[in-house]
Amino acid sequence: MTLNSIHSPVDLKKLARDQLPALADELRQFVIDSVSKTGGHLSSNLGTVELSIALHYVFDTPRDRIVWDVGHQSYPHKILTGRRDRMHTLRQFDGLSGFPRRSESEYDAFGTGHSSTSISAAMGMARAFQTKGEKQVAVAVIGDSAMTGGMAFEAMNNAGVYEDLPLVVILNDNDMSISPAVGALNRHLARLLSGNVYSATKRGIDSVLSIAPPLREFAKRLEDHAKGMVSPSTIFQEFGFNYFGPIDGHDLDALIPMLQNVRRLALEGRGPQFLHVVTRKGQGYELAEADPVLYHGPSKFNPEEGVKKSTTPALKTFTQVFGDWLCDMAKADPLLVGITPAMREGSGLVEFEKQFPERYYDVGIAEQHAVTFAAGMACEGMKPVVAIYSTFLQRAYDQLIHDVAIQDLPVLFALDRAGLVGADGATHAGAYDIPFLRCIPNMLVMTPADEAECRNLLTTAFKQPHPSAVRYPRGSGVGTIPSTELPVIPLGQGELRRRSNAITGQRVAILAFGTLLYPALEVAEQIDATVANMRFVKPLDIELLKSLAQDHDYFVTIEDGAIQGGAGSACLEAFSAMGIYKPVLQLGIPDVFVEHGDYRLLMSQCGLDSAGIAKAITQRFPAIALTAT
């Protein structure tokens, strides 16, 4: 088999051109087989098989840098760059990351995971090459969805300033189709426009007409008009790029000559190049072609049968609880609007869009715009609910402070994927929301312990005339059944879930935030501790803390977020302000980027399972072990 002989791009370049289609077929099947065993992103990777082959066949990698935007489509790239034998470890603890990672391979030029960053990073590399006097090319591969991110346009606007920048941007467009006739014409024109004849002729005309600027400008307009008749908008040319395409991204006979031409132009100092390729998500696997959303990030499955829905009833996820609540609250309040930055399925908005299409807004991968858009609606009396992953809200922090909080606008942020997220790893972990939210004036922060409380706290937050956030993890909780009503919990009021019977001098109180309440209750049975379900990080239940301080000697705070500046820190600040000085053990996510792996394993590694919590408490407070049952 051809694929088995490929251990690096050096081996790939030894193949004849007519061997590459067969390699593409093998590579595509290998991706399907690998992802079916480990889970991971599938549709997007099947769409980049030929593009990955062509890039490594043409460019001098790793000397030429390839930056994959988001990076969830980089599996073929990983396989071609010496990691084929480790694909069975994909997204597992100590295994391959599901995204490009600099520490994993010299071929991973830039670590990614969030979108719209590739052009900026590649531009920085290209300018570094020029500064050091090196002849190299930086390539950014960006999808059509990622192009909706403002950062991509900021980068292009800046890149156009440098007329000799050795930068190639490849737009991987998988949301449009090309009919055979149009595709052939565009392929011919694109190759012609990037070839030697066109470039030489253009230089000659520029030279001849340089003495007559009006004629040169007229010729330029004529050229743009002619190209515009058979190619998309010249917006990329207006940014200062040489635009070519669109071409079929699955046609190696089209891709390779085009990439050779744009690489040559970039090395010759002809400025930044822009190649538009059209691919199809799920290409080559009929089930994924038919439903690329379902096969975007499947769990393990049988490739012959495809992804099968479980026949056993599953616990409702927090995301589903949110989606149900949103529809119910929208029925109760006509001013509610739902906003998402391109995460309709992931954030649970599918049913809301069906029921309330006029109140549903998907703004694309544009988190900053989503937040300020919500602020604008709130200014006019609407009640926006922004459904967003915790890790993606980080991208709109300035807007959160400047446009929402300073104006004290009632925008509710439903923060999905709070805490660790397992296989997606550090780039997607929602570990930092409590610290970066609770320091903002006017902001309310709530941490439901289970599904029922999640619904109640969403209602509570929605009813407040202030900005608020309700954070909840990926997946399901303990399985509590939410009410069909829309009850409100008193703002800033926690609850005691267990009272210790220990003697004075050995009494410990565990202050639990979020879903870690339940392992805390397990531990409390072992060491006879008091357990408080705090529910609110801000405002904190000061009266509850004061009451517990009267008859407890030790305190433990538990949260599934960063310890530094987190909910435990809020408790320490409150105790200090009240003049209460008791030993406090803070448990949470440590000051490291937690890598990818099974969620339960990662929580155990962080000491946040019941065994880890019990061990930390008895080590920190040896007297507590004496009361263990």
Residue of 110, 81, 98 lying closest to 34 (CA atoms): 98
CB 125 within 8 A of CB 65: yes
Tell me: pLDDT of 78 over 90.
yes
Distance of alpha carbon 137 from the chain centroid: 27
Cα distances from 592 to residues 39, 197, 391, 562, 610, in angstroms, run 25, 55, 16, 9, 21
Buried b (16+ CB within 10 A) or exposed e, 77-115: bbbbbbbbeebeebbbeebbbbbbbeebbebbbbbbbbb
Tell me: pLDDT of 476 over 90.
yes
What's the whole-number mean pLDDT along residues 82-90?
97
Tell me: pLDDT of 177 over 50.
no
CB 559 within 8 A of CB 516: yes
CB 595 within 8 A of CB 93: yes
What's the whole-number mean pLDDT along residues 508-532?
97
Q: Do domains 3-202+234-290 and 324-471 have the same CATH topology?
A: yes
Tell me: pLDDT of 95 over 90.
yes
Question: Is 72 annotated to bind ligand?
Answer: yes
CB 235 within 8 A of CB 141: no
The pLDDT score that the predictor gives to residue 179 is 36
pLDDT class of 220 with cuts at 50, 70, 90: low
Residue of 102, 50, 79 lying closest to 278 (CA atoms): 50
pLDDT class of 200 with cuts at 50, 70, 90: low
- Within 10 angstroms of residue 453's Cβ, the number of other Cβ atoms is 26
Q: What are phi and psi of 532, to 5 degrees?
A: -115, 130
The pLDDT score that the predictor gives to residue 203 is 55
Question: Is 552 annotated to bind ligand?
Answer: no
Domain covering 495-620: architecture: 3-Layer(aba) Sandwich (3.40)
Task: Please state, in angstroms and rounded to a whole number, the distance separating the CA atoms of residues 60 and 58.
Answer: 7
Instruction: Please provide the CATH number assigned to the domain covering 3-202+234-290.
Output: 3.40.50.970
Question: Is 199 annotated to bind ligand?
Answer: no
Integer-rounded Cα Rg, in Å, for the chain is 28
pLDDT class of 213 with cuts at 50, 70, 90: low
Task: Please state, in angstroms and rounded to a whole number, the distance separating the CA atoms of residues 572 and 106.
Answer: 44
The pLDDT score that the predictor gives to residue 197 is 45
The pLDDT score that the predictor gives to residue 199 is 53
Cα distances from 243 to residues 177, 186, 228, 247, in angstroms, run 19, 12, 11, 12
The pLDDT score that the predictor gives to residue 107 is 98
Tokens of 226: 């002619």
pLDDT class of 116 with cuts at 50, 70, 90: very high
pLDDT digits (tens, 9 = 90+) for 278-291: 999 999 999 999 99
The pLDDT score that the predictor gives to residue 337 is 98
pLDDT class of 9 with cuts at 50, 70, 90: very high
The pLDDT score that the predictor gives to residue 308 is 86
Q: What are phi and psi of 582, to 5 degrees?
A: -125, 150
> Omega of the bond prior to 357 within 30 degrees of 0, cis?
no
Question: Is 351 annotated to bind ligand?
Answer: no
The pLDDT score that the predictor gives to residue 433 is 98
Prediction pTM value: 0.89
Task: Please state, in angstroms and rounded to a whole number, the distance separating the CA atoms of residues 55 and 12.
Answer: 11
pLDDT over 90 percentage in the chain: 83
The pLDDT score that the predictor gives to residue 182 is 40
End-to-end Cα separation, the chain, in angstroms: 62
pLDDT digits (tens, 9 = 90+) for 455-475: 999 999 999 999 999 999 999
pLDDT over 70 percentage in the chain: 88
Residues designated as active site: 281, 367, 395
Distance of alpha carbon 598 from the chain centroid: 18
Task: Please state, in angstroms and rounded to a whole number, the distance separating the CA atoms of residues 221 and 515.
Answer: 62
Task: Please state, in angstroms and rounded to a whole number, the distance separating the CA atoms of residues 442 and 462.
Answer: 14
Q: Which residue has the tokens 């050995």?
A: 506
What's the whole-number mean pLDDT along residues 485-500?
96
Tell me: pLDDT of 616 over 80.
yes
User: Helix (H, G, I), strand (E, B), or coil: what is residue 103?
Assistant: coil
Question: Is 285 annotated to bind ligand?
Answer: yes
Tell me: pLDDT of 201 over 50.
no
What's the whole-number mean pLDDT along residues 258-264?
97
Mean pLDDT over the full length of the chain = 91
Break the chain into its structural domains and give their ranges. 3-202+234-290, 324-471, 495-620
Whether domain 324-471 has CATH 3.40.50.970: the reply is yes
Residue 16, exposed/middle/buried by CB under 10 A (0-12, 13-18, 19+)? Answer: exposed
- Within 10 angstroms of residue 186's Cβ, the number of other Cβ atoms is 22
CB 575 within 8 A of CB 604: no
The pLDDT score that the predictor gives to residue 589 is 98
Question: Is 113 annotated to bind ligand?
Answer: yes
CB 7 within 8 A of CB 107: no
Q: What share of the chain is helix, strand, coil (3-state, %, to 5)?
A: 45, 15, 40
Task: Please state, in angstroms and rounded to a whole number, the distance separating the CA atoms of residues 384 and 375.
Answer: 8
Tell me: pLDDT of 300 over 50.
yes
Tell me: pLDDT of 384 over 70.
yes
The pLDDT score that the predictor gives to residue 221 is 53
The pLDDT score that the predictor gives to residue 225 is 47
What's the whole-number mean pLDDT along residues 105-133?
97
Tokens of 259: 């990439």
The pLDDT score that the predictor gives to residue 321 is 97
pLDDT class of 559 with cuts at 50, 70, 90: very high
Question: Is 107 annotated to bind ligand?
Answer: no
Cα distances from 225 to residues 218, 230, 568, in angstroms, run 11, 9, 63
- Within 10 angstroms of residue 414's Cβ, the number of other Cβ atoms is 29
Question: Is 115 annotated to bind ligand?
Answer: yes
